[in-house]
Amino acid sequence: MTVQTPILPGATLGVLGGGQLGRMFVHSAQSLGYFTAVLDADPDSPAGRVSHHHVRTAYDDAAGLAELAGLCAAVTTEFENVPAPSLATLATRLPVSPAARAVGIAQDRAAEKAHFVACGVPCAPYAVIETAEQLAAVDARLLPGILKTSRMGYDGKGQARVADAAALAAAWERLGRVPCVLEQMLPLAAECSVVLARGRDGAFVHFPVQRNLHREGILAVTEVHAGNIDAALAAEAVRSAHAIADGLDYVGVLCVEFFVLADGRLVVNEIAPRPHNSGHYTIDACDSSQFDLQVRTLCGLPLVQPRQHSAAVMLNLLGDLWFDVAGTQRTPAWAEVLALPGAHLHLYGKRDAKPGRKMGHLTFTAADARGARDAALAACALLGIEAF
């Protein structure tokens, strides 16, 4: 167990990555009285534009990392594809969370699956495919399945559904014969996730289990309210997430995503070593957000179990909403949406809307699930989002 001297407000906190997650971290840090620094090469990055300092270099640029370390008392990351060696370099000079080892495991699906197995947490049956020999030796019982690149896959990218051995071989060719993981396709009843925070002293807190709906590999809807997930399954998900975090000796905010199978079993899908899209509702529906906990874990501040005070439904807002059926750009009906009860609109400050690009999210809070769902469905009708 490591005891960290708390880093108190007035210090400068750094984040690798200038996207929306970095932006929301910066907002939380600043609300607590910290100064902030963002490292991101994009001069127009959402987080960079609201931070006190913006280091405009690549994530593996030695001079940029040195500048960030010189500015900051501690550093975190906003997404898992920041080079793990950059985190290791920074960790020689100041506290960094999550650690390079944990991020490195999350960056590699094969290592991630092996970690789940080592922790005793069930996952889908799988095979690692890195060579033609491994491809030829795949157990037929894993088909039909989903072939996923071991590295750099997110939001449904780097994946292919395969029905048989021929389709598997063709998909591996299309993916460039890079290292992959083949997962057996399982009959799904639902998807859920656990967002947790773990301190350097091993302290552990978590948010309620979130029920998620994905469309084309991208999160579309998150619901968090009484009855959204069976209580026994929710407890199992929290226990499994805790075991995974402890096995990594994790420090920071971690999201663990699960599948609920048609037969009622729970299997882990993947981890994200950072705050997560499915946890954005915590900004408006809980007394501490996932970004508040990211600041606390980074700074060694006390972790207090967060409390949800309102039922919540969150809608992801993709760039498609900024275009009509003819492809003409438009402004979504924000005034009408904001007239709905319990509406909380969060736009990320991205200049250009593109189909599939995450532009913001919309959370509806209410005293009960029906109130939140009804308002969210009304927003779907106004914005042209498919109902759920």
Binding-site residue numbers for ATP are 109, 148, 153-159, 183-186, 191, 214, 269-270
- 3-state SS assignment for residue 157: coil
- In whole angstroms, what is the distance from residue 209 CA to residue 216 CA? 22
Token pair 């859920």 in the structure block, residue? 192
**263: buried, middle or exposed (CB in 10 Å: 19+, 13-18, 0-12)?**
exposed
3-state secondary structure (DSSP) of residue 125: coil
In the structure encoding, which two tokens stand for residue 22, read together?
């970095």
**Buried residues in 196-206 as b, exposed as e (16+ CB within 10 A):** bbbbbeeebbb
8 A C-beta contact, residue 274 and residue 196: no
- Binding site listing: 109, 148, 153-159, 183-186, 191, 214, 269-270
Decide: helix, strand or coil at residue 74. strand
Question: What is the rounded distance in angstroms from the CA atom of residue 337 to the CA atom of residue 343?
Answer: 7
Distance separating alpha carbons of residues 334 and 340, to the nearest angstrom: 10
Give the integer Cα–Cα distance in Å for 120 and 239.
Answer: 11
